[in-house]
């Protein structure tokens, strides 16, 4: 049986991500903290090492198959939970400024401990609702890229996420394989919020039957000031 480090390296290679020794040890530490803290708080339903590597680490980074990162200097991960996809992106792209936002404070405490332990820099956590922070000048239309995994349907999520994206930047949600109906139900919201669907890229996680759809949404005009509506409304009454 190969050791943990080798298995991680090989799985990442399957999506063309090459890891340095430092990044390998950061991923292993992150895994250990996830399992340890998961004993006292609900962070993830998956704790077996190889499953975490594939379904959390490789999945978080599979966006590299869709989007280049050369011109990305800032990313916000909305509804990051235990740090997915934000922490794996930070480990692999240390030079990019990353903001992790979640409304559950216990998850933010976990993430702050991970940031300390892994000695990550140029990364910030925010405890708050997506709908509230994008109203603040320091966050509104400040990011090259907004990502989000497993948070809400695409119409609701677009109202959470597009206000954070600069004109010319992108919002790329991690969605499950079957997405046609969700796409149809979100086209109006995306257009109202200043976005345009550029492409939908389907991807299969290596050696699994798990399908992903990445929806690449370009921000082509400013989001009107009245969006997002007050907290709770985007989920209750999607645009
Ligand atoms: C199912 S978890 C997914 C976490 C992580 N993105 C992942 O894929 O493992 C959804 C997360 O979104 C957060 N969330 C849901 N609605 C939110 C909102 N309006 N603002 C901020 N966070 C929100 C929840 O607190 C939770 O941590």
92 located within any domain: yes
Q: How far is the CA of 126 from the centre of ligand 1 (A)?
A: 12
CATH number of the domain to which 114 belongs = 3.40.50.150
pLDDT in tens, 70-80: 899 999 999 99
Count of domains in the chain? Answer: 1
Task: Report the complex ipTM.
Answer: 0.99
Q: Which residue has the higher pLDDT, 112 or 176?
A: 112
The verdict on the CB of residue 129 being under 6 Å from ligand 1 is: yes
Nearest residue (by CA) to ligand 1, atom 23, is 79
138 located within any domain: yes
Asked if residue 128 belongs to a known ligand binding site, the reply is no
Nearest residue (by CA) to ligand 1, atom 4, is 81
pLDDT in tens, 105-117: 999 999 999 999 9
- Residue 73: give the domain boundaries: 69-236
CA atoms of 87 and 33, how far apart (whole Å): 13
The whole-number pLDDT of residue 2 equals 78
Contacts (Cβ under 8 Å, ≥6 apart) of 51: none
Q: How far is the CA of 156 from the centre of ligand 1 (A)?
A: 13
Asked if residue 84 belongs to a known ligand binding site, the reply is yes
Among 162, 182, 180, residue whose Cα is nearest residue 172: 162
46 located within any domain: no
206 located within any domain: yes
Q: Count the residues in the chain.
A: 239
CA atoms of 78 and 126, how far apart (whole Å): 10
24 located within any domain: no
Nearest residue (by CA) to ligand 1, atom 12, is 79
The whole-number pLDDT of residue 178 equals 86
pLDDT in tens, 88-106: 999 999 999 999 999 999 9
The whole-number pLDDT of residue 1 equals 65
Q: How far is the CA of 128 from the centre of ligand 1 (A)?
A: 11
181 located within any domain: yes
The verdict on the CB of residue 11 being under 6 Å from ligand 1 is: no
Asked if residue 140 belongs to a known ligand binding site, the reply is no
Nearest residue (by CA) to ligand 1, atom 24, is 79
45 located within any domain: no
Q: What is the mean pLDDT of residues 167-172?
A: 98
Percent of the chain past pLDDT 70, that is, above it, reads 100
The whole-number pLDDT of residue 65 equals 86
The verdict on the CB of residue 102 being under 6 Å from ligand 1 is: yes
pLDDT in tens, 126-143: 999 999 999 999 999 999
The verdict on the CB of residue 174 being under 6 Å from ligand 1 is: no
**Order of all β-strands in the sheet with 143-149:** 123-127, 97-102, 74-78, 143-149, 165-176, 211-219, 195-204
48 located within any domain: no
pTM of the model: 0.97
């Amino acid at each position: 049986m190969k050791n943990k480090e080798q298995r991680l390296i090989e799985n990442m290679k399957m999506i063309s991500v090459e890891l340095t020794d430092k990044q390998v040890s950061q991923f292993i530490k992150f895994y250990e903290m996830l399992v340890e803290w998961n004993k006292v708080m609900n962070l993830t339903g998956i704790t077996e090492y190889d499953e975490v590597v594939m379904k959390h680490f490789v999945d978080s980074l599979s966006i590299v198959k869709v989007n280049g990162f050369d011109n990305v200097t800032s990313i916000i991960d909305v509804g990051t939970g235990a740090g997915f996809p934000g922490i794996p992106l930070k480990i692999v792209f240390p030079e990019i400024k990353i903001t992790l936002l979640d409304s559950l404070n216990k998850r933010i405490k976990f993430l702050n401990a991970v940031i300390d332990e892994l000695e990550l820099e140029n990364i910030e956590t925010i405890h708050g609702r997506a709908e509230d922070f994008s109203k603040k000048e320091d966050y509104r239309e400040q990011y090259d890229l907004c990502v989000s995994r497993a948070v809400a349907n695409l119409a609701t999520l677009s109202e959470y996420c597009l206000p954070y994206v600069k004109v010319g930047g992108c919002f790329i949600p991690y969605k499950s394989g079957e997405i046609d109906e969700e796409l149809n139900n979100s086209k109006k919201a995306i257009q109202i919020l200043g976005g345009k669907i550029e492409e939908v890229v389907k991807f299969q996680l290596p050696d699994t039957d798990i399908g992903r759809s990445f929806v690449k949404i370009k921000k082509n005009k400013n989001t009107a000031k009245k969006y997002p509506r007050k907290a709770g409304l985007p989920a209750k009454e999607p645009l």
